[in-house]
Structure 1
């Protein structure tokens, strides 16, 4: 990769100039001064304090976000979301826009306080925390996630019809291990049966690795004590899932969802893809937002993606344990992976027939999905 491309890449990671210079040397062997770095950035028209996005475009973006789960966001999260979507704006401007467009939401968020317990992880991939989020389980949508203990980067976040199948959960684990080329030193999960295969595979993959660490490679404990992922579930609900919990709760309260097989399958058909998309977006914004310094001086602050990718900036290193391809194939053969259809195959085929006959398209936003759900429900129930 040319030096200009490297500089642009690290600039968009929001690294400080001194950190870009350091990484260019340690990672790529380029030796330049901060002054020369600034000249290169200027020649490529890359500025921190110039070229701000038109305020009207920012207002329109935030207004659109407030129509969906974005109504749950505070100004820091909304700022990170603006930046992730290519909008160059000051954090103070985002704060003022939110105060103008959503004064009641700002007032409610000001009353909240979040307290964290002390925590310590040595570096990226030293420990992964995995768990399932079941707040939408009553509606047929189960979310399974994993977060890196050091950087707080999201390792995976998947929405599917179940999170209770141990072969499916270990499929998430193995797919990630394959893409990263290794497994973490430790995996932390609760004692539930859905994590049994992850426990066994983690121990199997690290059985011949002798790195001087006389600790268990899989740690079990109560779900409520799994601090990193439990804390992140709170953020997920606040910034995203509260919208869907309220939306689906209204369907149930209004008698449009009875919890039966058909209603659950129809809801999965209409909403699963959208919920996966917004979950992916939430994870991307989280990975690129700034985690502020805490009272616990052993916990680093900064951008999760940077802490995970560039541990040397935090005087540590990647604790990834390499694995053999033969071991990988053995483990993969025992996994189950998500099907391409979001619900029961027969209901899926029925929904596609109804949509083809009515010339309907798949929805790409919540209220389109809501309209489609009600229409499919009425037409299929009328034909039964």
Structure 2
């Protein structure tokens, strides 16, 4: 039996019971708990043995604190450690964060939130969709969709616009194809960018044999509870780092807002506790049911014909110029944040030099 997904689930921090449920429901593989434990032991996957040296854990956390990891609390950082193959316990991560980033810990500990009650029948009952504009001054427009029951992200896309209704409809149809159906309901705001998507949702649900149902709910963004709460998490755990980084570029004179620079446990009594991926995959364990509405492929194709999909992340001419310059000057694109910033500055200077001549 291929055990790659067992190792993946283990490294993502799932418990043995959660792994067993995922194997049975998502892969059709039924194992006993003892068999799973033997497989994990054979692959030397333990949670309390062979822990990574504390110095190595500290080094990893220090590296994370240099980028958007500086926004993370100890629970999020502990999960990141596991995802990167670092075996440690949550308490060790908490202590290291206190030592390495005491100021950040103090800032995060002051947050307070009065929670509202949320109820959903199960996964794919409501998809909450909204745009996020905090990085829009720097040309990055984000669109997101979250499942109301499980809090699983259906899509999270960054592009040069999140106001084109055909682009947003493209995100929606990609998600419908990947899920094999559409949700029972959509929760949207009244922006024009949502018009195509709302019509497609109604079209996919329409049947001559069924009475018309209310499958699109419009309302203000401030009332779109699930996605608004996720935007708060995104801001605190990731986006704030990029806002600060881009602001510094602007202050240092490397961003002038012109065509060249634009790149265009839940404490809720009615919401189940658990990991989003588990809640979404096996909702019956939490008293829910999958509400996915299976759709006609011919209808899907009709909708796809009305969509526009992402192409160039910025102005097309600027994109091609940058590609040519990178080839000419042997400049490499990396995953390192600060090396990428240096690449951006170098390309910007090269283009400005050409324009000056």
Q: TM-score, normalised by structure 2?
A: 0.91
Rounded to whole Å, the distance in 2 between the matches of 1:254 and 1:24 is 52
Match of 2:215 in 1: 217
Match of 1:173 in 2: 172
Work out whether residues 19 and 313 of structure 1, in 8 Å CA contact, stay in contact via their aligned partners in 2.
no
Q: C-alpha deviations, 1:3-52, integer Å up to 9, x for none?
A: 967765655564444555566667747474x4555445434433332232
Match of 2:279 in 1: 307
Change (3 A) 1:369 1:47: closer
Query: SS where residue 115 of structure 1 aligns?
Result: coil
Q: Report the Cα offset of residue 209 of structure 1.
A: 8.8
Query: SS where residue 56 of structure 2 aligns?
Result: helix
- Out of 313, 317, 326, the residue aligned to residue 355 of structure 1 is 326
Q: C-alpha deviations, 1:281-313, integer Å up to 9, x for none?
A: xxxxxxxxxxx141x321111111111111121
Q: C-alpha deviations, 1:107-163, integer Å up to 9, x for none?
A: 111122233211111111111001111011111110101000000011100110000
Alignment of 1:185-224 (within 5 A): 185-208=184-207, 215-224=213-222
Match of 1:261 in 2: 259
Query: SS where residue 47 of structure 2 aligns?
Result: coil
Alignment of 1:101-116 (within 5 A): 101-116=100-115
Rounded to whole Å, the distance in 2 between the matches of 1:164 and 1:55 is 47
Work out whether residues 259 and 315 of structure 2, in 8 Å CA contact, stay in contact via their aligned partners in 1.
no
Rounded to whole Å, the distance in 2 between the matches of 1:5 and 1:107 is 39
Work out whether residues 145 and 156 of structure 1, in 8 Å CA contact, stay in contact via their aligned partners in 2.
yes
Rounded to whole Å, the distance in 2 between the matches of 1:381 and 1:42 is 58
Range that drifts further, 355-364 or 232-241: 355-364
Match of 2:317 in 1: 346
Query: SS where residue 208 of structure 1 aligns?
Result: coil
Query: SS where residue 186 of structure 2 aligns?
Result: strand
Rounded to whole Å, the distance in 1 between the matches of 2:299 and 2:213 is 22
Aligned-pair RMSD on alpha carbons? 2.4
Change (3 A) 1:73 1:309: same
Change (3 A) 1:21 1:180: closer
Rounded to whole Å, the distance in 2 between the matches of 1:36 and 1:376 is 55
Alignment of 1:24-43 (within 5 A): 28=28, 30=30, 32=32, 34-35=33-34, 37-43=36-42
Rounded to whole Å, the distance in 1 between the matches of 2:91 and 2:71 is 18
- Out of 226, 229, 232, the residue aligned to residue 228 of structure 1 is 226
Work out whether residues 168 and 337 of structure 1, in 8 Å CA contact, stay in contact via their aligned partners in 2.
yes
In structure 1, the gaps of 5 or more residues are 273-291
Q: C-alpha deviations, 1:38-83, integer Å up to 9, x for none?
A: 4454344333322322223222211111111111111111111112
Alignment of 1:315-354 (within 5 A): 315-339=287-311, 341-354=312-325
Alignment of 1:1-384 (within 5 A): 2=1, 11-12=10-11, 14-18=13-17, 28=28, 30=30, 32=32, 34-35=33-34, 37-208=36-207, 215-264=213-262, 268=263, 292-294=265-267, 296-339=268-311, 341-384=312-355
Change (3 A) 1:143 1:209: farther
Rounded to whole Å, the distance in 2 between the matches of 1:42 and 1:263 is 52
Rounded to whole Å, the distance in 2 between the matches of 1:176 and 1:169 is 11
Work out whether residues 74 and 94 of structure 2, in 8 Å CA contact, stay in contact via their aligned partners in 1.
yes
Work out whether residues 3 and 30 of structure 1, in 8 Å CA contact, stay in contact via their aligned partners in 2.
no
Change (3 A) 1:368 1:38: closer
Work out whether residues 363 and 372 of structure 1, in 8 Å CA contact, stay in contact via their aligned partners in 2.
no
Work out whether residues 122 and 288 of structure 2, in 8 Å CA contact, stay in contact via their aligned partners in 1.
yes
Q: Report the Cα offset of residue 367 of structure 1.
A: 1.5
Work out whether residues 130 and 147 of structure 1, in 8 Å CA contact, stay in contact via their aligned partners in 2.
yes
Query: SS where residue 299 of structure 1 aligns?
Result: coil
Count of residues in correspondence between the two structures: 354
